[in-house]
Amino acid sequence: MISVQRRKIIIDKINSGIPLSVSELSRELGVSPMTIRRDLSSLEKEGLLTRTHGGAVPVGGGSEEEPSFDEKLNRFPAEKLAIARKAAELIKDGDTILLNAGTTVTALARLLKDRQNLTVVTNTVNIAMELAQSEGINLVLTGGNMRTRSYAMVGSLTERVLREIHVQKAFLGVNGISVEHGLTTPNMTEAHTNSLMIKAADEIIVLADHSKIGRVTLSRFAPIEAVTTLITDRAAPPDFIEELARRGIEVIVV
């Protein structure tokens, strides 16, 4: 395949809003990673994409578009469930944990209903409803103003509660995770809430399927170094996983 054909395929993919990885493009197009890197560099010079570590994102990759909870629910459900199951294995009876908003974190909450002697702090209405009837769980709902797109509570009340608590583990969903830009979400207020969650926890465990990797949205709430563990699926770019491991971040692939 000649370079013009390859680059047209790459542009078609990037215009669909999908973050691209060098390793995936190399396999799909049947050329070396070095050839793909040259293609991406050339396309970046033309202003057609933005390079990231191990891949590329659309120009202006800091997207403000935020799909609703229901829109995200049917995206990669098998991968999200596998990630949630692995995350549940990291939670022991007696733990104090924090759950933020998101479909993968909601899948995790559903797996915790029968746990005993567990304290769960959340700012998310639908997660609170999932656990409301669980007698073995001490459920702490932060309160605040609910965002209809994510069901997350934000605002001064939420922030006040988060500043006054301490948990062992925070399980966080993200809209984007990249080496350069860390953890991002489309909403600035929710980003600030997430940053306070990170300060409240000893361990930060990010639950992100492969579609979140390399993606950058509007508001950064933590550098990549804040992450203790990333749980992702097998379609995650190998070079991204290797870079996180090099930085001392545990990566669990399911």
Q: What is the pLDDT of residue 18?
A: 62
Q: What is the pLDDT of residue 59?
A: 63
- pLDDT tens digit at each of 254 positions of the chain: 688 889 888 887 776 666 678 888 998 899 999 999 999 988 888 777 778 777 887 665 544 556 778 777 888 999 999 999 999 999 999 999 999 999 999 999 999 999 999 999 999 999 999 999 999 999 999 999 999 989 999 999 999 999 999 999 999 999 999 999 999 998 889 999 999 999 999 999 999 999 899 888 888 999 999 999 999 999 999 999 999 999 999 999 99
Q: Rounded CA gap, 179 and 211, in Å?
A: 15
List CB contacts of 143: < 8 A, sequence separation 6 or more. Answer: 153, 157, 158, 161
> For the chain, what are the domain ranges?
3-57, 69-253
Domain covering 3-57 assigned CATH 3.40.50.1970 in the classification = no
Q: What is the pLDDT of residue 23?
A: 86
Q: How many residues does the chain have?
A: 254
The CATH number of 69-253, from 3.40.50.720, 3.40.50.1360, 3.30.70.20, 3.40.50.2000, is 3.40.50.1360
Q: What is the pLDDT of residue 100?
A: 98
Q: What is the pLDDT of residue 65?
A: 59
